[in-house]
Amino acid sequence: MKAFSKLTALFLMLVLVGCDSDSNSADESEAPGSNIVETAISAGSFNTLVAAVQAADLVDTLTSAGPFTVFAPTDAAFAALPAGTVESLLLPENKDQLVAILTYHVVSGRVTSEQVTSLSKATTVQGSDLDISVSNGSVQINSATVVAADVEASNGVIHVIDAILLPPSN
């Protein structure tokens, strides 16, 4: 468990570094040097997501060239799940389910907030579609709200969301 905690902390620190609490978008004048995982770790609010990415063996994928768009749930979003859910998903025997959930948060390609707001759907790496809507200036991805957009990474972009996205069951 200590390895997960340290990795999770690292992932979250990277994500938080990319977030600016005074703005919903990253400064596009700076070329990002950190990949999605490093950006998430540096942010500090994605520890659970980082731990899950590590448990699912997706670190290599999310540090590859990409590009990827990640709808990244915060630690608070994971904390809102029923007690024991995260711990259960991190167990090796639940890896396939964890991979499905995590890849449902990822879209292939760099999709900026400007592009997201013009879409009604986006197909995830998992294979299912996300529903996208804009209402009263707020972007919804399924039932999650985008709380920070356009966190740039060298291999994609992160949009921070306030809930976990669950793929449709077959």
- Tally of domains in the chain: 1
What's the 3-state SS for 127-141? CCEEEEEEECCEEEE
**E strands of the chain, at which residues?**
68-73, 106-108, 121-123, 129-135, 138-141, 144-153, 156-161
The per-residue pLDDT for 78 is 92
Q: β-strands 156-161, 68-73: how paired?
A: parallel
Residue range(s) defining the domain that contains residue 91: 2-161
In a domain, 169, yes or no: no
In a domain, 167, yes or no: no
CATH of the domain at 27: 2.30.180.10
In a domain, 72, yes or no: yes
User: Structure pTM?
Assistant: 0.79
Q: For the chain, which ranges sit under pLDDT 50?
A: 1-31
The per-residue pLDDT for 32 is 54
The per-residue pLDDT for 94 is 93
In a domain, 48, yes or no: yes
The per-residue pLDDT for 62 is 87
Instruction: With beta carbons less than 8 A apart as the criterion, state whether 63 and 34 touch.
Output: no
The per-residue pLDDT for 23 is 36
pLDDT in tens, 85-119: 999 999 999 999 999 999 999 999 999 999 998 99
The per-residue pLDDT for 36 is 87
Tell how far CA 152 is from the center of its chain: 12
The per-residue pLDDT for 44 is 80
